[in-house]
Structure 1
C-alpha cells in the first residue's frame, strides 16, 4: 500500500511542480505517472553508472555534482517521454532539485 501511495503522490507532485515552476511541462496526469515510472527506471539503471563515472568530480565539488546527475536523468526522461518537456539544463536542474526535496518531505510524512 505504501508503494502505491508514494507512486501516486510522486506523480501528483511532479504534475503540480510543472504548473508552478517555469521550464518544465507535462501534458496530463497520465504523463506524470509515466514520468515517475521512467525516472524510477533511469535512477535504477543509469544513475549508478553516472555516479561511478562522476565520482572524482563529486568528491571535488563536495557532492554538488549529484545535482547535475539528477538534471541529466531528468533530461533523459525528457528525451524518452513525448508528454514531458524541459526547456533546458537550468530548468532541469531547478525542477530536479525541487522535486527531490518535496518528494523527500512527503516520503517522511507518509512513513
Structure 2
C-alpha cells in the first residue's frame, strides 16, 4: 500500500516536471498534479486497453506509432477533466505524454526496481 502511495506521489512530481520542462503543459498546484496523476493512472488502466484493442488494425498498419496518438488523446482527455491541469493542444499532449512516459519510466526504474544481488 505504501509503495502504491509513493508511486502516486512520484507520478505527480513527474507531471510537475513535465509542466516545468514543456510550456504546452501547465499544472497549477501539487494537488492538481496528484489528481491528474490519479485520473491518468485510472484512464491508462481502464480506457487505454480498450482503445488499443479497438485500434489494433491501425496500430499494426502504422507499425505501432498509433499508440502515441492514443496516449496523447488520453493525456489531453485527462487535462480536460481535471481542473488545474491544462494542455494547449494535440501536439502539446503528444510531447507531454512522451515526456511523462519517459520520466515515469526512469523514476520507476530508479526507485522501485529490486536491488541486484
TM over 0.5: yes
1:69 maps to: 70
Give the ranges of 4+ consecutive aligned residues of structure 1 lying more than 6 Å apart after TM superposition.
none
Q: Deviation at 1:2?
A: 2.1
Partner of 1:10: 11
Does 1:59 find its partner at 2:60?
yes
TM-score by length of 2: 0.90
**Partner-residue secondary structure (3-state), 2:14:** helix
Alpha-carbon deviations, 1:5-63, whole Å to 9, x = none?
21111101101210210211111000000011100111122111211111011111111
TM normalised by structure 1 equals 0.95
| Equivalent position of 1:20 in the other structure | 21
Name the Cα RMSD after superposition.
1.0
Corresponding residue of 1:37: 38
Whichever of the two has the greater Rg, that structure is: 2
| Between 95-104 and 44-53, the greater mean CA deviation after superposition | 44-53
